[in-house]
Structure 1
Amino acid sequence: MEMIDNVSYLFGFLGGLGLFLYGMHIMADGMQKTAGGKMQQFLSKITDNRFTAILLGAVITAIIQSSGATTVMVVGFVSAGMLSLVQAVGVIMGANIGTTITAWIVSLGTIGDSLKLFQPGFYAPLMIGIGAIFILFSKSDKKKTIGEIVLGLGMLFLGLDLMAGNIKPFTGAPIFSEAFRVLGGNPILGIIVGIVVTALMQSSSASVGILQTLAFNGVVNTAAAIYITLGQNIGSCVTAIISSVGSSRTAKRAAAIHLLFNTMGAIVFGILGFVVFTVNTKLANHTINAVEISIFHTFFNLTMTTLLYPFAGLLVKLSGMIVRGKDDEVVEAKKEPILQLDERVLLTPAFAVQSGSVEVARMGSIALKSLNAAMGAINTKSLDDLKTVAQCEQTLDDMQEALTEYLIKVDNLSLSESQKKHVNNLFNMVTDIERVGDHADNLSENAKYMIDNNLEFSDLAKEDLAEISKDAIDAFETAINASGANALGAVRRVNKLEDKVDMLEDELREKHIDRLTKGECNPQSGIAFLDIISNLERVSDHATNIAGYVKNEI
């Protein structure tokens, strides 16, 4: 019977751990949706100001409840060239501070029985019930998201209760006190245990939660808790290190910076701890509680960030010594990757959506470059411009395929209704932008035809082309740059320009046919002219489509 009871307790503990992790996942998911567009703007606000980067790293990690996930995103952004290594240092430091929020949430769930009414676990079933009602019966997207957060919190606290309750019968066993006595007396061993457990679980939040649950049951001494916590900080780097495998040399250096930062902290505090605990054995053997673990965790990360804050440049240099080789940020730019993003951002839906927006905007800028080059070839007979259009057209075709695949993956993530709507609009924008690229290619074909046949337009025709091309290209450029507070004004401007281009096309077509009838224009040039203004009118139509997608989200 005792054997069955022990197995039952084990199952209960594992079930509690599962509830804890899944609850944290659901809660973080809901918080990301609530943050919405604000979170999507975080990346653009990261500058070379390390304090800002640290603050944003802390906020992001507090929202997604995982320093590992934040660092994985940083590795992806660095790999894509969206962040420099110096900027990444600040975000990584902030991520370590942000992850302490998880420990404090766990601490709330371990308040003693004497304060039962103030213990979150007491209300966990109610929170799960309320959250489920919101999710199942509310029609409002906002209320469903609130339900996810409440449900996730309830599951998190219920999981903690299950873990604590099912580990309690074993806490009196000599193996626990002996194990923590050994770990407390050996800093290296304690740190290694923290590293291994966190690396295996791929979550410092989970390993800290288990340690705090054991501390709640009074079996963890201070020395052991300190050393294990230091190891957990190093173990949290494993996810980012795995993520950087196969990435650029620069991305590997970002992961190395994370490892360096946490390892330096573990060495400094490990040595200090060993000295203090050797002198004061009473403190070393003092039974630590969950709140005290949270206090140390927070103190450790704040202190190391303060100490290493001025040495971000040094950390970057050290990472270069660990990951040797020529700095490949410039080399990678020459390769011109199809998408300048790392799909590891899919781990965080809000950033995955934002990354998609950035890439669609980049695709738009390539189509704009192609348009300008095509008109340059028509006006100046430049062969270099024809080559530029051909290169851009191939890039746009590749980007359409890659972005469509990427956006399908993003669409399958847990997104809010507004995010889903935005992703749907991105799908449509990609199609319109690619079609603009096709029209630029058509224009370059006209330019090549004129070059091969040594054709020229009349001065009047050149003036007409300059006017309609300026308005069509202006409409497209305004559309792809329409965002933020001035989006509505940009949309209105695109619509006005499109109307003007439509009228110009009709007017210029009539005038040119009249010139052809009077024999004032070469028929071969006339065919090219009519085809050019037709393509430019179609460009303005696609600009209007893109502006319409922007308007849908205002």
Structure 2
Amino acid sequence: MLIALGTLAGGLGLFLLSVSMITDGLKLAAGGSLRDILGRSTATVWRGIVSGAFLTSLVQSSSAVTVATIGFVNAGLLGIHQALGVVLGATIGTTMTGWLVAIVGFNFSITAFALPMVGAGMTMRLVGPSRRLGALGEAIAGFGLFFIGIDFLRGAFEGFAQNMDLASLAPEGFAGAIIFVGVGFVMTLLTQSSSAAIAITLTALTGGVISFPAAAAAAIGATVGTTSTSALAVIGATSNARRVAAGHVIINGFNAVLGIALLPGVIWLASINADMQQYPALSLALFHTSFNVLGVLLLIPFMKRVSAWLERRFVGLSEKLGRPQYLDSNVMVSPALAMDAFFLELKRMAELARDHAVAALNNEGSPDARLKAEHDGLRQLVRYVEKSVTDLEKDRLGSDVAQQLPMILRIANYIDEAVAHAQACAETDSDVEYLLQTDESERILLYRAAVLKHLAFCNPDRHDFSADEVNQAYQALRVTWRDLKTDLLDASVGGRIPVQRLNPAIDSLRMMLRVAERATRIAIRLAELGRGVPLAGKSVPDRPAGSSDQGAETAIGSD
């Protein structure tokens, strides 16, 4: 018994190692091909299914394809609907392991081709360790180990069959088979590989350790268990990653329920069909493929609804901020309404950017998750505004409206830069914190307070807002910065502050001034835009006599 257990553990270890070698080797050999194939071949659900099935059957890992798909969704290359098409295909592709084991693993002499594959593959690996040849050799060696691992598993289960009461393991009817659904789930959960669970099930079936009904039930459990990999992979991940993982659970869960519904009929058919009794491994591979393919076919018409439902779930702070409140397809049909919506959206973005900058400058230690979410959400909103401007039908706009579009893009760009600079201040806060332990701490705190005060001053909604006054306040802030920088350099020359700590701190403090500069530009440009917007301009304060927005912004400058 101990020998059989050792053989089982060794065979499983070889199998898992082989799958890892196949996956890593083919991914390295393909280079960017995996990304290119998914990018080009997911325009429709059907193309996504074909791509997902092909890639999964090739690399022998639905997890690798699913994780790659999640990455493409996060990068904006795939939508949730397209990603679910790839997941549907991966569900079919992962059934190829069963066919590979059933057809090749049990019907040919393993040593006749497996050991030569390992030898040839490792020779290629040694010849070209850092090239695609080496990666391809690793994959070939992995396929050789795949079959050797299967052979060890088969030998282990044959040993179990000679020393165990098989009748006690055979489920009685449908209720007993359900127990093995849990067995298949647990095997997949422990090995984090449905391919491993299917291989174990097939070798146990062929070795006579379990009956066909039990093996069929275990295959259903493996279908559900493979979703655990996705569930574990998205802990603390982005909202899109969680949506794809949830879609994976929905798809495989539905297929498992369908498999359970078909199980009584399959059990009855196996009891009367001589061919199924003669070729149990092939029969199991056929059943595993059949209920997964049938489930995918039944789910395809509902994928748009599932995608829309998932889009409304797992909404994080960054996505909430990244969703416009005033811009949508309805207002874009009217130039006047569109300009009003742009103005209101930019005003909201400017306020959020000021709040983010205040939080970033007051942050102590590393930036927290909220700061990162605000940063990502605001920059996503900037991209949306820019896209909305480019999507406008320019030939249908009046000249007065068309002249406002460059201004909108400029303000959006200022907001984008202000948010990026504020986040940089938070990420380099440790350099400034060091200076706060020196004799220059009071001057630094006064400078930071002046920046925060100026951010509050850069609000075009103030009833007494004046572009000239905002610019003058910024020029005074520049003077404060120059005086502080001079004092810090003098302290470094006097040996009171190490040069290696001073330079990064000066860069961080200068970044605060850049945030203030961008806030100044945003406020001046928003006030100017508001006077040219048909509806929103009514709520913008009149320009004080003698003021000039263009001149004020030109004089801003930077340090």
Into which bin does the TM-score normalised by the smaller protein fall? 0.5 to 0.7
Instruction: Give the gaps of 5 or more residues in structure 1.
Output: 1-5, 339-358, 370-375, 402-434, 453-524, 536-554
Q: Secondary structure at the match of 1:218?
A: coil
| Cα distance change on mapping 1:91 and 1:399 into 2, 3 Å | farther
**Residue number among 29, 37, 45 corresponding to 2:32 in the alignment:** 37
**Residue number among 86, 91, 107 corresponding to 1:91 in the alignment:** 86
Q: CA deviation at 1:310?
A: 1.1
Letter in 1 for 2:249: L
| Cα distance change on mapping 1:155 and 1:386 into 2, 3 Å | closer
For the pair 1:390 / 2:399, whether they are aligned, the reply is: no
* Paired position in structure 2 for 1:166: 156
Letter in 2 for 1:245: I
* Paired position in structure 1 for 2:168: 178
Question: Which of 1 and 2 has higher RCO (CA within 8 Å, sep 6+)?
Answer: 1
Q: CA deviation at 1:25?
A: 0.8
* Paired position in structure 2 for 1:211: 201
| Cα distance change on mapping 1:180 and 1:79 into 2, 3 Å | farther
Q: Secondary structure at the match of 1:171?
A: helix
Q: Secondary structure at the match of 1:181?
A: coil
* Paired position in structure 1 for 2:287: 296
**Contact in 1 for aligned 2:42/2:86 (Cα 8 Å):** no
**Contact in 2 for aligned 1:253/1:319 (Cα 8 Å):** yes
Q: 1:275 and 1:223 mapped to 2: Cα distance?
A: 10
Q: 2:514 and 2:238 mapped to 1: Cα distance?
A: 37
Q: CA deviation at 1:126?
A: 2.1
Q: CA deviation at 1:70?
A: 2.8
**Contact in 2 for aligned 1:97/1:301 (Cα 8 Å):** yes
* Paired position in structure 1 for 2:254: 264
**Residue number among 133, 142, 150 corresponding to 1:152 in the alignment:** 142
Instruction: Give the gaps of 5 or more residues in structure 2.
Output: 324-351, 357-375, 387-403, 430-506, 525-550
**Contact in 2 for aligned 1:16/1:162 (Cα 8 Å):** yes
**Contact in 1 for aligned 2:270/2:277 (Cα 8 Å):** no
| Cα distance change on mapping 1:397 and 1:187 into 2, 3 Å | farther
Q: CA deviation at 1:254?
A: 2.7
**Residue number among 228, 232, 237 corresponding to 1:242 in the alignment:** 232
Q: 2:289 and 2:169 mapped to 1: Cα distance?
A: 25
Structure ranking higher in helix proportion: 1
**Residue number among 11, 23, 30 corresponding to 2:18 in the alignment:** 23
Q: 1:200 and 1:400 mapped to 2: Cα distance?
A: 42
For the pair 1:56 / 2:51, whether they are aligned, the reply is: yes
Q: CA deviation at 1:85?
A: 2.6
Q: Secondary structure at the match of 1:245?
A: coil
Q: 1:198 and 1:89 mapped to 2: Cα distance?
A: 22
Letter in 1 for 2:54: V
Aligned residues: 374
Q: Which stretch shifts more, 11-20 or 55-64?
A: 55-64
* Paired position in structure 2 for 1:135: 125
**Residue number among 288, 300, 304 corresponding to 1:313 in the alignment:** 304
Letter in 1 for 2:418: A
| Cα distance change on mapping 1:175 and 1:260 into 2, 3 Å | farther
Q: Secondary structure at the match of 1:62?
A: helix
| Cα distance change on mapping 1:80 and 1:32 into 2, 3 Å | closer
Q: CA deviation at 1:237?
A: 0.8
* Paired position in structure 1 for 2:486: none
* Paired position in structure 2 for 1:461: none
Q: 2:518 and 2:217 mapped to 1: Cα distance?
A: 72
| Cα distance change on mapping 1:399 and 1:145 into 2, 3 Å | farther
**Residue number among 324, 331, 334 corresponding to 2:320 in the alignment:** 331
Q: Secondary structure at the match of 2:171?
A: helix
Q: 2:153 and 2:411 mapped to 1: Cα distance?
A: 71
Q: CA deviation at 1:396?
A: 7.1
For the pair 1:192 / 2:182, whether they are aligned, the reply is: yes
**Deviation digits for residues 218-237 of structure 1 (CA, Å, limit 9, x no counterpart):** 34433222211111101111
Q: 1:47 and 1:400 mapped to 2: Cα distance?
A: 41
* Paired position in structure 1 for 2:339: none
Letter in 2 for 1:154: G
Letter in 2 for 1:211: T
Q: CA deviation at 1:394?
A: 4.4
Q: 2:412 and 2:76 mapped to 1: Cα distance?
A: 28
Q: 2:102 and 2:321 mapped to 1: Cα distance?
A: 45
Highest Rg: 1 or 2? 2
Q: 1:392 and 1:255 mapped to 2: Cα distance?
A: 30
| Cα distance change on mapping 1:196 and 1:400 into 2, 3 Å | farther
**Residue number among 92, 102, 106 corresponding to 2:101 in the alignment:** 106
| TM-score normalised by the chain length of structure 2 | 0.56
| Cα distance change on mapping 1:148 and 1:387 into 2, 3 Å | closer
Q: 1:400 and 1:146 mapped to 2: Cα distance?
A: 43
Equivalences for 1:399-478 in 2 at 5 Å?
A: none
**Deviation digits for residues 393-423 of structure 1 (CA, Å, limit 9, x no counterpart):** 445788999xxxxxxxxxxxxxxxxxxxxxx
Q: 2:154 and 2:518 mapped to 1: Cα distance?
A: 75
Q: 2:519 and 2:194 mapped to 1: Cα distance?
A: 61
Q: CA deviation at 1:325?
A: 6.9
| Cα distance change on mapping 1:317 and 1:165 into 2, 3 Å | same
**Contact in 2 for aligned 1:61/1:70 (Cα 8 Å):** yes
Letter in 2 for 1:310: P
| TM-score normalised by the chain length of structure 1 | 0.57
**Contact in 2 for aligned 1:72/1:239 (Cα 8 Å):** no
Q: 2:305 and 2:114 mapped to 1: Cα distance?
A: 46
Q: Which stretch shifts more, 391-400 or 175-184?
A: 391-400
Q: CA deviation at 1:17?
A: 0.9
Letter in 1 for 2:34: M
Q: CA deviation at 1:388?
A: 4.6
Q: CA deviation at 1:95?
A: 0.8
| Cα distance change on mapping 1:162 and 1:397 into 2, 3 Å | farther
Q: 1:10 and 1:248 mapped to 2: Cα distance?
A: 41
**Contact in 1 for aligned 2:12/2:149 (Cα 8 Å):** yes
> Among the aligned pairs, what percent are the same residue?
28
**Contact in 2 for aligned 1:249/1:328 (Cα 8 Å):** no
Q: CA deviation at 1:384?
A: 7.8
Q: CA deviation at 1:60?
A: 2.9
| Cα distance change on mapping 1:77 and 1:283 into 2, 3 Å | same
For the pair 1:252 / 2:242, whether they are aligned, the reply is: yes
Q: Secondary structure at the match of 2:162?
A: coil
**Deviation digits for residues 224-279 of structure 1 (CA, Å, limit 9, x no counterpart):** 22211111101111111222333455543432222222222222231222145358
* Paired position in structure 1 for 2:327: none
**Deviation digits for residues 281-331 of structure 1 (CA, Å, limit 9, x no counterpart):** 4459946532322222222222211121111123346657xx967687841
Aligned-residue Cα RMSD (Å) equals: 4.4
Q: 1:174 and 1:310 mapped to 2: Cα distance?
A: 47
| Cα distance change on mapping 1:396 and 1:206 into 2, 3 Å | same
**Deviation digits for residues 105-160 of structure 1 (CA, Å, limit 9, x no counterpart):** 32244334xx53xx4x4322222222222222347723212321221111111111
| Cα distance change on mapping 1:395 and 1:10 into 2, 3 Å | same
